[in-house]
Structure 1
Amino acid sequence: MANFKNRIVPHLWFSNNAKEAAEFYTSIFSDSRIKSITKLEKTPSDSVEVVIFELFGQEFQAISAGSLFDFSESISFMVKCDTQDEIDYYWERLTADGGQEIECGWLKDKFGLSWQVVPEIMDEMMQSEDPEALSRITQAFLKMKKFDIAELQRAYEGN
């Protein structure tokens, strides 16, 4: 069996702008690059463009193959951030040029793809065995669009 770097590769279907999307994403995330762009002719969707790219070393494949499918919120990509500056950076860039802010750290980018931009420390907070702390942090993040780490921390600690 072949030795693949990424055994599971997310595949993204775009109507006609897979290359533009890959360029957008690789401009935002470090350790990112477009690996290849291939044009396929005479397919059921007429002409198809296949783009393979990496974000943080995770391989993705995107195709421009017509408007048969749309993205839905049932699938999203989570970006875990260590600092508020990181949250602000990804939030600003992913919502740029027509992206949409949603609740609880979720957003849609200009291509309609859903993302969650979350603080890494939230994993630890959500593992708490203190039901009151869990309730406080839940009530805090339900009121937010973009997460505010300091506000989440205050809610968790009961301040």
Structure 2
Amino acid sequence: MARIAPCLWFDGTAHDAATFYAATFPDSRVDAVHRAPGDYPSGQEGDVLTVEFTVLGMPFVGLNGGPHFTFNEAVSFQVYTDDQAETDRYWHAIVEGGGSESQCSWCKDRWGLSWQIVPRALTQALASPDKAAAKRAFEAMMTMTRIDVAAIEAAVRGDDA
């Protein structure tokens, strides 16, 4: 058993979210569903209270705590991708069905949880020892929502593409 797991607060949809994440990302699954042994402020005995799940090998707990707290951008999950196809697949899965796009690789899923879908090509470009190339990649990224790997690579090369 893991020694630490982030607990994500949902308003009655923890199982739906965990099922979505398990279907979207590899090495992901719903591990356990726990029902409330009694009534509680946001639910009744027998309702799903917590869901243990794994996303990309990392354990989480989803708590159906009610409408009192919501997600914000102060916490986001960065998912590193190997190519444009993987970037696009995760991005579209997250924003479709009620999610939303933001800037510079950020998006939100239908539950309001923030994600950053980050191609490794971008992180490598931004860490380049060639400061001019890193700056061009950064400036290109600042114009994007979903990251375009080819455009980042062109910026590193100094192409006008």
Q: What do you get for the CA RMSD once the two structures are aligned?
A: 1.4
Gaps of 5+ in 2: none
Q: How many angstroms apart in 1 are the aligned matches of 2:91 and 2:100?
A: 10
Q: How many angstroms apart in 2 are the aligned matches of 1:121 and 1:9?
A: 29
Shift of 1:104: 0.2
Q: How many angstroms apart in 2 are the aligned matches of 1:91 and 1:150?
A: 16
Q: How many angstroms apart in 1 are the aligned matches of 2:86 and 2:3?
A: 28
Paired residue total: 155
Please name the residue that 2:156 is paired with.
156
Aligned residues: percent identity?
38
Secondary structure at the aligned position of 1:63 is classed as strand
Question: Which amino acid in 2 is paired with 1:35?
Answer: D
Shift of 1:130: 2.3
- Which of the pair is proportionally richer in strand? 1
Q: How many angstroms apart in 2 are the aligned matches of 1:90 and 1:125?
A: 21
Secondary structure at the aligned position of 2:21 is classed as helix
Task: Render the CA deviation track for 1:106-132: whole Å, top value 9, x for unaligned.
Answer: 000011000000111222222123221
Aligned counterpart for 1:42 among listed residues 36, 39, 49: 39
TM-score, with structure 1 as normaliser? 0.91
Secondary structure at the aligned position of 1:43 is classed as coil
Q: How many angstroms apart in 2 are the aligned matches of 1:7 and 1:85?
A: 34
Q: How many angstroms apart in 2 are the aligned matches of 1:42 and 1:149?
A: 50
Gaps of 5+ in 1: none
Please name the residue that 2:5 is paired with.
9
TM-score, with structure 2 as normaliser? 0.90
Cα distance 1:18–1:84, how it changes in 2: closer, same or farther (>3 A)?
Answer: same
Please name the residue that 1:146 is paired with.
146
